Amino acid sequence: MFEDNRSILLGALVLAVFLLRKFLDFRRAAASVTNLPGFRTLFSDRFVWFPYRVNGISPGVQSEINLYRKYQDFEEGGWDIMAGDVIGARARFPKPLGPYKVLLTFGPNLVASEGDEWKRQRKLVAPAFSEKNNKLVWDETVRIIYDLFDNVWGTQDTVIVDNITDLTVPITLLVIGVAGFGRRITWNEDAVAPEGHNITFKDALNVVSRNLFLQVLFPHWLLKWGTSSMRRFYASYKELGQYMQEIIDARRSGEVKEERHDLFSSLLDANEGLIESGEKLSDIGLMGNVFIFMVAGYETSAHTLAYAFILLALYPDEQEKLYQAIKTTLSDDRTPEYHEFSSFAYSMAVFNETLRLFPPVITIPKQSAEDTSFTTTNAAGEKRTIPVPKGTYVTVHTPGLHNNPKYWVDPDAFKPERFLTDYPRDAFLPFSGGPRGCIGRGFSETESIAALTVIISRYRVEVRDEPQFAGETFEQRKARLLRSKLSLTLLYTMGPGHDFYDHHHHHHSLEDLPQDDIP
């Protein structure tokens, strides 16, 4: 009994000391920023996972809260700091590599590097994202969509899509296959795995892209002997690596002589040109970058397109404006060409407004390299200097920035037109900004604008009416369709109950359709 009591007392003492140290650290940290008002907790989401936001205790699932609270925390605190003060000062606020170390599981890469290593990676990788690659992305995205129309949807007037990601994810994967790896895949491809492989390239790419979080969470030995889904991912990951090595070997042996503009081929060519300088990457380094591009390309494009279609279905007037703008350029129903990209300004406006409301990068982490400070102004015009001690973690809060009423009129509204005129570019960071801005931005924009333009030119997107949701208000429907959950790099995967159908335009304007077809 005495031993038990002593153990309990010792445990309580250890807990008390721990909590006291946390509290003192908390007070010290608050004092270092002159007790700036705002939401504070003893524990960060890195220390303990707790799904609920409790003032003083836990921030909850911070990424989800950041997305849905948007500017609310800054409004309540009364102060905010312009992101350009951080993004534009790369030397003062470098990228902390700690949160990105998990990405090294894919091999050395551009995202998980800084300083001289980042410069080396960037020098190699940048040429791959060329105008020729953008044209390839556009042409192949258009081809993939028409293949969908002709060989999957066929002559159907109405196409039911139970979850919009069932449409956008395959589009993205097929584009990555050809524009990322130089492997053209069709929607109805039913190929047998080639000699030396147990899984087709298409299936390996599909499984790996959808489950890359497993590579981050679990060691290889556990994936190899784990659940059936873990084993399937492990096998697909190994097969995809083998396919990539075969592409490398074929390129080096001269078996592939034609000019190629897919990312992997361009990366290989650029890498071979660095032999003499000693900056050449290993094959693992090459694959590491390609895997990271695959993660970014899959998530950013697929889910931004999904949100765009949801928003267009919720706001049919905006969808009509987009349709009419597209038809101004494609009045004869011909195939859109890459050189006409700038003509689809309204498609880009819809894409950008979607990114503003649902940014793929929810927080941009930085760390102060020196003792510095910010000067900020509140709504009353009062100025305040905020000290930032060396080593302080600073986060650019993208949803807050994208919904700040100082820079955006009626920020909660879906208004693509705001991007047709001059807009506050410093307050729009869907792909981060500055030298560390997303290198694949052009790839994502080109793919997304092509897909959005071609689909809306022929189909109208509507929300399918379902009896169980008959009494819901517009705001309830909007909340249901846009409900999301945490994904590997951002908060993006659609929840249940998002039923869509696309109604064929038959090459007529919406006014030409029967009235009862309009929601």
- Residues placed in the known binding site for heme: 438
Given a contact cutoff of 8 angstroms between Cβ atoms, the answer to whether 333 and 340 are in contact is no
* C-alpha dihedral sign at 347, 348, 350, 351: positive
Q: CB 160: neighbour CB atoms within 10 A?
A: 10
* Tokens representing residue 28 in the block: 């010290």
Side chain identity, residue 272: E
Q: Would you call 109 helix, strand, or coil by DSSP? A: coil
Between CA 450 and CA 137 the distance in angstroms is: 9
* Three-state SS letters, 343-401: HCHHHHHHHHHHHHHCCCCCEEEEECCCCEEEEEECCCCCEEEEEECCCCEEEEEHHHH
Q: CB 73: neighbour CB atoms within 10 A?
A: 16
Q: Would you call 92 helix, strand, or coil by DSSP? A: coil
DSSP-assigned states of every residue in 151-172: IIITT-SEEEESSTHHHHHHHH
Among residues 172, 138, 176, 392, which one has the least CA distance to residue 302? 172
Q: CB 47: neighbour CB atoms within 10 A?
A: 11
Among residues 290, 285, 295, which one has the least CA distance to residue 211? 295
* Tokens representing residue 75 in the block: 């409004």
DSSP one-letter code for 207: H
Residue ranges of the binding site = 438
Contacts of residue 312, Cβ cutoff 8 Å, sequence gap at least 6: 318, 319, 322, 350, 456, 461
DSSP one-letter code for 430: B
Side chain identity, residue 231: R
